Structure 1
């Protein structure tokens, strides 16, 4: 892996562009900034000519949208750090696709952390799967969303609707899918609970998150929920009332 990396900044605000340049110059001697570009039109031409290792890309530019720019490129051979003002719709797509993004205003420490992460992952062959998932998620409804799961074996892109339930295994989470497949990732159940709580998933127990679409029955006497394929899981007493409310919606 190369010890030197090249970067292009695509940002139409001069003060923001200068800020990014200064942070990189002060903290990353191994990074060379090839160009700072203010527009979609110029970026489309220059990115294909310069072929940087990574791009710091503002979403809303003076002459268009960064997503339109990316779709116009023949190939995307660089990593991207997206920069955006608060936009819940875009932020949700970023989170599900495991792509890097920063919300404005940008703080130096956050930018440094993001660039370090990009440098560490530059030669990750699975990156473009994440980008593909992002474009799928951006503008899609909940039923069609995809989730990117990364473990030592690979980067897995799965449909949310294929998840029956997720169970905790110490500091790991095990995804149980409709086809019988299981994917183990080194993240806690809590991290997925926060991400999936608006997507028809419900944490019925400290050890289980279930896809409510596959609930067949709830035995209130035994505090057990039955899912697709006759999978029975316990329901914590403190979750009973909220679960019933969800099922009655």
Structure 2
């Protein structure tokens, strides 16, 4: 299990196990990290910075689904297509859409990273 060391508002570094992260959400120049215990951490770092960090450190279970979210593929409960939009339901019941241009790559990464059977409701996913 990999861990991130995150600088928080009081300049302390907090260790967060990647397995405890459900998703990250962009908030202009900040990112809010939502954890499995339903708490969150606000970090003065862009989502793009986290995306680069995840790629550089081989965090394969994280995927940027659209311009606002990075999701933990291991925390996906359900994937379905609604009105031609791919929707991800995460373990905390939050639903996140996948952008059209990232759809094909998401499906490929999701299938590679998932070791358990996930219900994929679809027409042609």
TM-score (norm 1): 0.41
Q: Find the counterpart in structure 1 of residue 23 from structure 2.
A: 165
* Highest RCO, 1 vs 2 (Cα 8 Å, sep ≥ 6): 2
2:62 pairs with 1:201: yes
Map 1:67-78 to 2 at 5 A.
none
Higher CA-based Rg: 1
TM-score (norm 2): 0.80
Map 1:27-106 to 2 at 5 A.
none
Q: Which runs of 5+ in 2 are unaligned?
A: 113-125
Match of 1:213 among 53, 66, 74: 74
User: Which structure carries more helix by proportion?
Assistant: 1
Q: Find the counterpart in structure 1 of residue 119 from structure 2.
A: none
Q: Is the 8 A contact 2:65 2:106 kept in 1?
A: yes
CA RMSD, 1 decimal: 1.2
2:43 pairs with 1:180: no
Q: Which runs of 5+ in 1 are unaligned?
A: 1-143
Q: Is the 8 A contact 2:9 2:44 kept in 1?
A: no
User: Which structure carries more strand by proportion?
Assistant: 2
2:96 pairs with 1:239: no
2:10 pairs with 1:146: no
Match of 2:47 among 189, 207, 227: 189
